[in-house]
Chains A and B, each alone.
Chain A
Amino acid sequence: MSLPVTTQSIKPYTGEKARLVRAYDYLILVLALFLFIGSFHLHFALTVGDWDFWVDWKDRQWWPLVTPLMGITFPAAVQAVLWDKFRLPLGATLCVTALLIGTWITRIFAYHYWNFFPVNMVLPATMLPGALVLDAMLMLSNSLTITAIAGGSAFALLFYPSNWPIFALFHQPVEYANAQLTLADLFGFQYIRTGMPEYLRIIERGTLRTYGQYAAPLAAFCSALLCTLMYALWWYIGKWFATTRYLSKI
Chain B
Amino acid sequence: MKIKITQWVYTLGLIILGFGGPVQTALAHGEKALEPFIRMRTIQWYDVAWSKQQFKVNEEVAVSGRFHVAEDWPVSVPKPEAAFLNVSTPGPVLIRTERWLNGKPWVNSVALQPGGDYEFKIVLKGRLPGRYHIHPFFNLKDAGQVMGPGAWLDISGNAGDFSNGVKTLNGEIVDMESVGLLNGIGWHLFWGALATGWLLWWVRRPLFISRYRMLQAGMEEVLITPTDRLIAKAVLVAVPVIVLAVNAVAVNRYPNAIPLQASLDRILPLPALVNAGQVDAEAIKAEYSVAKRAMVFTVRIDNRSDKPVRIGEFNTANVGFINPELPAVSSQAPATAAVLKLDDDTPVRPGETRTVTVTAQDASWEAEKLDGLINDADSRVGGLLFLYASEGGERYISSVSAAVIPKF
Binding site for B on A (CB under 8 A): 1-10, 12-13, 18, 21-22, 24-25, 28-29, 31-32, 35-36, 38-40, 42-43, 45-46, 49, 56-60, 74, 77-78, 81, 85-90, 93-94, 96-97, 100, 104, 114-120, 123-124, 126, 128-129, 131-133, 135-137, 139-140, 154, 158, 160-162, 164-187, 189-195, 197-199, 201, 203-205, 215, 237-238, 241-242, 244, 247, 250
Contact = CB atoms under 8 A, between A and B. Distances in A.
21 contacts: A3-B205, A8-B219, A29-B207, A35-B16, A36-B16, A87-B215, A89-B232, A97-B195, A123-B180, A132-B198, A133-B236, A135-B198, A165-B246, A172-B257, A180-B261, A184-B260, A192-B89, A197-B83, A199-B84, A204-B262, A242-B11
Contacts of B96: 189-190, 192
A161 B192 CA distance: 17
A192 B95 contact: yes
Nearest to A84: B215
Contact of A183 (B27, B106, B166): B166
Interface of B: 2-5, 7-9, 11-17, 19-21, 23-24, 26-27, 82-84, 86-89, 91-99, 104-109, 127-128, 137, 139, 141, 145, 164, 166-170, 172, 174, 176-181, 183-184, 187-188, 191-192, 194-196, 198-199, 202-215, 217-224, 228-229, 232-233, 235-236, 239-240, 242-244, 246-247, 249-251, 253-254, 256-262, 264
Contacts of B15: 237, 241
Contacts of A123: 180-181, 184
A8 B249 CA distance: 51
A9 B247 CA distance: 50
Contacts of A162: 191, 243, 246-247
A39 B259 contact: no
A75 to B, nearest CB: 12
Contact of A247 (B3, B184, B202, B217): B3
B224 A128 contact: no
Nearest to B194: A132
Contacts of B191: 126, 128-129, 162
B9 A31 contact: yes
Contacts of B224: 87, 89, 139
Contacts of B229: 139-140
Nearest to B235: A136
Contacts of B169: 172-175, 180
B105 A242 contact: no
Contacts of B99: 177, 189
Contact of A116 (B84, B91, B164): B91
A4 B14 CA distance: 36
Most chain A CB within a 10 A radius of its CB, from B93, B188, B229: B188
A87 B223 contact: yes
A5 B92 CA distance: 61
B112 to A, nearest CB: 12
Of all A-B residue pairs in the complex, the 9 with the closest CB atoms, nearest first, are A197-B84, A161-B247, A197-B139, A195-B27, A177-B105, A39-B16, A171-B257, A199-B109, A199-B82
B261 A93 contact: no
Most chain B CB within a 10 A radius of its CB, from A28, A77, A238: A28
A199 to B, nearest CB: 4
Given A2-B206, A199-B109, A247-B4, 9 more contacts: A3-B210, A10-B214, A85-B8, A129-B242, A136-B232, A140-B236, A161-B247, A171-B260, A191-B92
A4 B56 CA distance: 69
Nearest to B124: A192
Given A172-B257, A183-B179, A204-B262, A117 B3 contact: no
B221 to A, nearest CB: 8
A19 to B, nearest CB: 11
A131 B240 CA distance: 11
A59 B259 contact: yes
A176 B96 CA distance: 12
Contact of A177 (B7, B107, B202): B107
Contacts of B14: 241
A184 B180 CA distance: 11
Nearest to B187: A166
Contacts of B210: 3, 12-13, 21
Contacts of B26: 115, 194-195
Contacts of B198: 90, 93, 132, 135
Contact of A42 (B23, B107, B258, B264): B23
Contact of B86 (A2, A179, A197): A197
Nearest to B22: A46
Contact of B256 (A81, A86, A173): A173
A180 B104 CA distance: 15
Contacts of B180: 120, 123, 166-167, 169-170
Contacts of B94: 192
B207 A203 contact: no
B5 A28 contact: yes
Contact of B168 (A32, A94, A174, A177): A174
B250 A10 contact: no
A13 B258 contact: no
A119 B181 contact: yes
A104 B184 CA distance: 12
A190 B181 contact: no
Nearest to A49: B24
A171 B258 contact: yes
A140 B235 CA distance: 11
